Amino acid sequence: MRPASVTVRAPGKVNLHLGVGALNDDGYHDVHNVLQAVSIYDELTAGAPAEPGAITMSLAGEGADTLPIDAGNLVIRAAQLIATKAGVQDGVHVAVRKSIPVMAGMAGGSADGAGALVACDAFWGTGLSRHALEALAAELGSDVPFALTGGTALGTGRGERLTPILSRGSYSWVFALDDSGLSTPAVYAELDRYRAELPRPALSSTDALLTALGQGDPVALGRALANDLQIPALRLRPKLSRVLAAGRELGALGAVVSGSGPTCAFLARDPSEAVELASALAGEGVCRTVISASGPVPGVRISQP
């Protein structure tokens, strides 16, 4: 029997190393993207639609009023993809409660796309294989497969080809959020602009980072954090350099713009230092708000009823 509704939660992420290579003809860059899923979750509930056959969604929570609820949202596209693939005509309504900040470089949109795939598959009982869900996730966006899988992984190609990474221990993060978002394509475009004069870029090595993760060494991990999108994000949002400097001065083991920004991520030695860092950073008044989280955490999971 079909469940009345299915609720899942989908994690955000932080990029530990985002190396960006050449721009390809398809408009995407080659990347070496080491991602860690963190304990900030959007919650999605798939249930019956108001009108039979309709695919609809609603949004609540952090930044909800700034997002589309049509096919401009990955939730709707994910549901449509599954319906087409599995020949489902019943429709669904997906209610999303957002906690992952919007357009913040923490892959909230990708998390919602991945969450909608799992929620709709379970609600409709389509029983798609993990492999089939991963293929649909890659169609939706470069970071969507990672949101399904979670943990710590290296994404290559445009980011969608994932290899799990051995990571020991749990890491304590503090995130400084800005007032408004940054568009991922705009940040990549700014990278292309400032690199126009440079020779073809080479992808930087992830060796130091992978060693730090394998050893569970937060000090070495803090030193190895790297992001090729940081310079273009700072060019578009210069005040972020003050945020990064404030976190470093307050003793963060590492400070980096998360993905395409504008969120800045700070690594703390342990959960209690993260609490101290978060409150000190909030006191500096350099950002809208500060949140703490830990990683790695698993990818999309169905919540227990």
Q: Active-site residue numbers?
A: 13, 143
Location of structure tokens 């994690």:
11
Supply the minimum distance, in Å, between the C-beta of residue 304 and ligand C5P: 30
What separation in angstroms does the CA of 54 have from each of 48, 113, 153? 9, 18, 36
- Concatenated DSSP letters of 88-121: --S-EEEEEEE-SPTTSSS-HHHHHHHHHHHHHH
Give the interface segment with ligand C5P, choosing from 10-18, 137-145, 275-283, 289-297 (CB under 6 A).
Answer: 137-145
Q: Which residues pair with 31 in a beta bridge?
A: 20
> Distance between CA atoms of 171 and 296, rounded to whole angstroms?
7
Q: State the nearest-atom distance from the C-beta of 31 to ligand C5P, in Å.
A: 5
- 134 touches ligand C5P (CB under 6 A): no
Q: Is 141 in the site for ligand C5P (CB under 6 A)?
A: yes
The least CB distance from residue 170 to ligand C5P, in Å, is 27
CA angle (97, 98, 99) in 5-degree steps: 125
Among 123, 146, 173, 188, binds ligand C5P (CB under 6 A): 188
**Site size for ligand C5P, by CB under 6 A?**
12
Decide if residue 185 touches ligand C5P (CB under 6 A): yes
Give every CB contact of residue 303 below 8 A, 6+ residues apart in sequence.
Answer: 7, 8, 9, 43
Is residue 190 at the binding interface for ligand C5P, with CB under 6 A as the rule? no
Tell me the closest approach of the beta carbon of residue 228 to ligand C5P, in angstroms: 11
**C-beta closer to ligand C5P: residue 121 or 228:** 228
* 206 interacts with ligand C5P by CB under 6 A: no
Q: Which of 88, 148, 158, 287 binds ligand C5P (CB under 6 A)?
A: 158
The first and second tokens of residue 147, run together, are 């949101």
Q: Which residue in this structure is represented by tokens 């949101």? A: 147
154-157 — which CB contacts under 8 Å span 24+ positions? 154/32, 154/33, 154/34, 154/35, 154/206, 155/31, 155/32, 155/33, 155/34, 155/35, 156/30, 156/31, 156/32, 156/33, 157/30, 157/31
9 binds ligand C5P (CB under 6 A): no
Among the listed ranges 79-87, 124-132, 138-146, 292-300, the one in contact with ligand C5P (CB under 6 A) is 138-146
Q: Which stretch binds ligand C5P (CB under 6 A): 1-9, 136-144, 194-202, 286-294?
A: 136-144
Quickly list DSSP for 51-88. Answer: STT-EEEEEEETTGGGS-SSTTSHHHHHHHHHHHHHT-
- Determine if 17 is a binding residue for ligand C5P (CB under 6 A): no
- How many other CB atoms sit within 10 Å of the CB of residue 84? 10
In terms of CB distance, is 63 or 105 closer to ligand C5P? 105
Shortest Å, Cβ 150 to ligand C5P: 17
Q: 3-class DSSP state for residue 297? A: coil
Q: Give the interface segment with ligand C5P, choosing from 40-48, 79-87, 141-149, 272-280 (CB under 6 A).
A: 141-149
Q: Residues 184, 227, 258, 292: which binds ligand C5P (CB under 6 A)?
A: 184
**Binding region for ligand C5P (CB under 6 A):** 27-29, 31, 141-143, 158-159, 184-185, 188
